[in-house]
Amino acid sequence: MMVRALVFLVLGLAATGCDTIARVSDRAMEPCDTREKATAVAESAKPDATNLPDDIPGLIEALASPNKPPFEGEVCVHFETPPDFDETAQDRVCAAREKLLSMGIAAFPYLVQHADDPRYSYTACYSAYRNHSVGYACCRIIEKQIEPAYRPTPHRQSDGTHYIPSTYLQSQGDLTRWWASHSRMSLRELSIEATKWSIAQEERADFKTQEDRDRSLQPLRKQLRGLRWGKPLEIQRVLGSAF
């Protein structure tokens, strides 16, 4: 059986927002009808958002995939896609995620309610394949809107060990309690708080060199200034990571 990579790779929620990237080569020199066919192929690769509910609770239900996880456990380096795995159904999960993201802070109370929802949602690939729950998807929808658009990356410390930064939302523990104390804040205010938290974390972190520290802190401080000056909010983009 041919091994297929089940890679739900979202580069910062690109315009298609799709987990599957259409691989269409450069056709600038080809006839118009050929380019039109290529466009049709790309369009067909977009997630099918038809029949998605308009209400937030219904969209969160749509995050629950009808598929079973493609492998047992949370992490796997290599696996074969089950023959009954409906990849088209995953497009609907992706589309629901996109729609919830577009609703902004209005969806936060509902997303927080489902932060511990264990139902299977999607599988993503980082250094390995990982199965993610509806609860994880809900947390990521919040996180992508309030965490710094620039995310600190793991780095080597002065003693040679690796430091893996946490995230603001992960540090809050019980999200129900967090939202109860933050529900009156705007999205910008939440973003400022999260960015300040990330700066404080990086300032306390152990870096191998001062140059490494400055390289990590500079974009965070620049982003904080922009948020305070009224710069438009950015959706978090991390090159090469999944949603």
pLDDT of 103 reads: 93
Looking at the structure, tell me whether residues 114 and 192 fall in a common domain: no
Q: Is 200 left (phi over 0), alpha (psi -120 to 50) or beta?
A: alpha
Decide: 138 and 114 in contact? Cβ < 8 Å.
Answer: yes
pLDDT digits (tens, 9 = 90+) for 123-140: 998 788 999 999 999 999
Percent of the chain past pLDDT 70, that is, above it, reads 75
- Helix 87-102 vs helix 134-146: angle between axes, to the nearest 10 degrees? 40
Boundary of a domain, candidates 121, 145, 169 = 145
Boundary of a domain, candidates 145, 177, 198 = 145
Looking at the structure, tell me whether residues 1 and 119 fall in a common domain: yes
Q: Under DSSP, is residue 123 helix (H, G, I), strand (E, B) or coil? A: strand
- Domain containing 59 equals 1-145
Does the pLDDT at position 85 exceed 50?
A: yes
pLDDT digits (tens, 9 = 90+) for 38-60: 334 444 444 555 678 889 999 99
